[in-house]
Amino acid sequence: MRNLLFQGLVRLPLTEPRPAADDPELIALAAKLDNAARRRLGRSLSIREVDAGSCNGCELEIHALNNAFYDLERFGLKFVASPRHADVLFVTGPPAKNMREGLERTYRAMPSPKWVVAVGDCALDGGMFAGSYAVLDGVSAVLPVDLRIKGCPPRPQALLAGLLALMEAPASEHRTIHRTD
Amino acid sequence: MQSIPTLADIASADRKVDAHRPWPRAIVGADVWQNIAGQLASSQWTLSGLWGDTGAVHMALLDAATNEMAVVSTDCPNGKFPSVALYHSPAIRLERTIQDLFGLEAENAPDPRPWLDHGRWGERHPLGARDSLADTEPYAFLPVIGEGVHQIAVGPVHAGIIEPGHFRFHANGEALVRLEARLGYTHKGVEALMRGADLERAAKLAGRVCGDSTVAYALAFARAAEAALEAEVPARAHWLRALMAELERLANHLGDIGAICNDASFSLMQAHCAVLRERVLRAADICFGHRLMRDCVVPGGVAEDLPAGKATVLRELLAEIGRRFPALVELYDNTASLQDRTVATGILKPALAQQYGAGGYVGRASGRSFDARRALPYPPYDRLTFEIPVLEKGDVDARVWIRIHEVKQSMMLIEQILGGLPNGAIRGAIPRGTGEGMAMVEGFRGDILAWLRLDADGRVARCHLRDPSWFQWPLLEAAIEGNIVADFPLCNKSFNCAYSGCDL
């Protein structure tokens, strides 16, 4: 173990250059994320994820955000275990009717202000499962959705870009929705 | 005493269905059905699937001695059929599912509770004679009686980023007396959506049953469709499919090895394994245009060819894993605090693995060597050299070691595939026609069974996909008994059963 830890010290980090110099889009993205997070929530945003019937593909890519390449936490973004600690609810899945109550109760357990992100094509409108007796054709059938991230599943880069977009949007857009609960 | 009939006897004695390929299907009377069910527990047959159809039920059987398969079916006059679960408990949840989806009742079933149907669909029996919603009673978990026994309810929403399911623990102090899982939360009605779908749409649906096994599912579906239509698949496509399947296995095993250690609070392994997993996904993305290789396997072949020169990317990937992985294996093996958690934890007895026909690392860590790539070989595995690791201990540690060995085997397979990849077309024509087809494919988690019937328009009349975890979930409940509550996440991750794969 000592060797491995030592190598970790001397090897260059894998974390992708916080915006690579040759990718202007990413430079802008990371810089914006940094500024926006600081302004809105003091550099930090806590995310609670709920699988509302996904195939697990979206979960795999959300997981990837935590690996050394994307290292989500360097941006002040982190996944939390309890909805009571969360600012953002990530929802995947069509959603399944069997998960409706679990999803609603998770949302209700979150303190305001809160944002809902529909992650993946299923969460958008039911995706390939739309029209089934067992699904609700989109997360917006259950909760007010602030942001949609497309993809089947979305790439980790798209998830990151989506989180940025959420923080960039004018606050008024979200708050009007969330004061109703 | 009645001698045990072989699968060939059954298939020849009763009404044989001609258009069922590649294995035979026979329609039997209720008495023969019951006779087979009664012998499942004591014979060399393994129950490999049990599913409903319009007015009938089907049962897939594997002859463990000869590695032959067959399907037997029986009609359900009055909507009833003799229960298999009455004699063979691995069938319990499958029969509950048939009841929920088709309204076909297993007579004298030992457990008549609903399974997928939580009373939330607004209707009952969506695949059978549709019925309006009846009053649903609260779900009754199996009881535990005894002094000091308390319940712990977990889920369906869990603390981590994982799939939803409910676990009901009965504990006495820290020791678990009984675990009962309640699943079905991710049920999306896939088999109903399959009905009437053309092959293209149905293949995409199959690839969305279980996200981490999208290649394996798409492959199982494609092979079943090709069997039904007797379609030819070009050699290069077979090899590219195997390449994708092994990349998928590699990515999942690497992820699992890290995640299991993480559930023992050893996050160093997780950090390193996640890096290797990410490298596999990135290589897959470069080679096939999708990190998980979704929709890359299609009926008739593969959607995308391996671009010229991209084999180098995969060779570099293998070299990188070859450089990094041995140190991680050593770290796992030499960290006493980690071994203390995994060794002798969550033991699954070989007899149970055998009875349930448990596939994948769950079965192979408990002495059941079945691997569809070897037992029911499909191309190109019949031309590749690989070993199937088998251990007997059946604990968390053994399930980790099976994965470690399989990582190495998959790396060797990828190397062989890159070396022997034939040139030529990657997609054959799919003839239009009717027929029934079946396929068994080895996913990273175990054997996936696909069965379908195509109508005259070449559309899917019925398709059933059986996830390996149908025969693994119940074993988790057995393996956890007597362990401490805090070891459940560890045991659960070492099984890593599919939720969406079983909920469909």
Q: What is the pLDDT of residues B395-440, one digit of tens each?
A: 999 999 999 999 999 999 999 999 999 999 999 999 988 999 999 9
B292-302: string of b/e by CB count within 10 Å (b at 16+)? Answer: bbbbbbbbbbb
Does residue A38 have a pLDDT over 80?
no
DSSP state of B49: E
| Longest CA span, chain A | 56
Burial class (CB in 10 A: 0-12, 13-18, 19+), A157: middle
Residue B179 pairs with which residues in a beta bridge? B169
Percent helix, percent strand, percent coil in chain A, to nearest 5? 50, 15, 40
In this prediction, what percent of chain A has a pLDDT beyond 90? 51
Q: What is the dihedral of CA B19, B20, B22, B28, to 10 degrees?
A: -130
Neighbours of B461 (CB within 10 A): 17
| Location of structure tokens 């029996």 | B125
- Rounded to a whole number of angstroms, the distance from the CA of A127 to the nearest CA of chain B is 10
Supply the pLDDT for residue A1: 78
Q: Please, how many CA atoms are within 13 Å of residue A32, restricted to the half-sphere of its CB?
A: 16
Two structure tokens written together for B368:
């059941």
- Phi, psi of A104, deg, nearest 5: -65, -40
Supply the pLDDT for residue A173: 44
| Longest CA span, chain B | 69
Contacts of B116 in chain A (CB under 8 A): 98
Q: Are B307 and B296 in contact (CB under 8 A)?
A: no
Does residue A143 have a pLDDT over 70?
yes
Helix or strand or coil: residue A85? helix
Two structure tokens written together for A29:
């993205």
Inter-CA distances, B407 with A123, B164, B199, B220, B485, Å: 33, 28, 33, 22, 30
- What pTM value is reported for the model? 0.93
Q: Are B107 and B95 in contact (CB under 8 A)?
A: no
Smallest Cβ–Cβ distance between A49 and the set B118, B161, B335 belongs to: B161
| Location of structure tokens 């979206």 | A58
Q: What is the pLDDT of residues B345-356, one digit of tens each?
A: 999 999 999 999
Strand segments, DSSP code E, in A9-158 are: 45-51, 77-79, 88-92, 115-119, 147-149
DSSP state of B345: S
Supply the pLDDT for residue B139: 92
Two structure tokens written together for B18:
């001609």
Please compute the mean of the pLDDT values over residues A72-82 and round it to a whole number: 88
Contacts of B185 in chain A (CB under 8 A): 53, 96, 98-99, 102
| Residue of A91, A98, A103, A128 for testing the chain B interface, max B β-carbons within 10 Å | A98
| Residue of B102, B162, B188, B502 for testing the chain A interface, max A β-carbons within 10 Å | B188
Residue B150 pairs with which residues in a beta bridge? B171
> What is the full DSSP assignment across B229-279?
HT----HHHHHHHHHHHHHHHHHHHHHHHHHHHHTTT-HHHHHHHHHHHHH
Q: A3: alpha, beta or left, given left = phi > 0 and alpha = psi -120 to 50? A: alpha
> What is the full DSSP assignment across B186-218?
T---HHHHHTT--HHHHHHHHTTS-GGGHHHHH
Contact between A134 and B204 using a beta-carbon 8 Å cutoff: no
| Residues 6 or more apart in contact with residue B67 via CB below 8 angstroms | B375, B376
Contacts of B268 in chain A (CB under 8 A): 1, 4-5
Contacts of A61 in chain B (CB under 8 A): 291
> Which value does ipTM take for this structure?
0.94
User: A112, A131, A132: which is closest to A176 by C-alpha?
Assistant: A112
Supply the pLDDT for residue B369: 95
Chain A residues 50-109 with CB within 8 Å of chain B = 50-64, 66-69, 79, 81-82, 93-94, 96-102, 105-106
Supply the pLDDT for residue A22: 41
Contact between A56 and B159 using a beta-carbon 8 Å cutoff: no
Supply the pLDDT for residue A44: 75
| Residues 6 or more apart in contact with residue A50 via CB below 8 angstroms | A89, A90, A91, A92, A99, A102, A103, A106, B157, B164
Q: Are B262 and A67 in contact (CB under 8 A)?
A: no
- Rounded to a whole number of angstroms, the distance from the CA of A96 to the nearest CA of chain B is 6
Supply the pLDDT for residue A171: 46
Supply the pLDDT for residue B116: 97
Contacts of B186 in chain A (CB under 8 A): 51, 53-55, 93, 96, 98-99
Q: Are A101 and A52 in contact (CB under 8 A)?
A: no
Two structure tokens written together for B4:
């045990």
Q: What is the spatial distance between Cα B130 and Cα B404, in angstroms, rounded to a whole number?
A: 47
Q: Which pLDDT band holds residue A178 (cuts at 50, 70, 90)?
A: very low
Q: What is the spatial distance between Cα B57 and Cα B102, in angstroms, rounded to a whole number?
A: 10
B113-128: string of b/e by CB count within 10 Å (b at 16+)? Answer: bbbbbbbbbeebbbbb
Contact between A102 and B186 using a beta-carbon 8 Å cutoff: no
Q: Which pLDDT band holds residue A36 (cuts at 50, 70, 90)?
A: low
Report CA B352 to chain centroid distance, whole Å.
17
Supply the pLDDT for residue A172: 41
Q: A86: alpha, beta or left, given left = phi > 0 and alpha = psi -120 to 50? A: beta
Q: What is the spatial distance between Cα B331 and Cα B251, in angstroms, rounded to a whole number?
A: 19
Q: Are B120 and A136 in contact (CB under 8 A)?
A: no
Q: Across the 504 residues of chain B, what is the mean pLDDT of every consecutive 10-residue run?
A: 60 77 93 92 89 96 91 95 96 97 96 95 91 80 90 92 95 94 97 96 98 98 97 97 98 98 95 97 97 97 93 97 97 96 96 96 97 96 97 98 98 97 95 94 98 94 98 97 94 97 95
Q: Are B176 and B169 in contact (CB under 8 A)?
A: yes
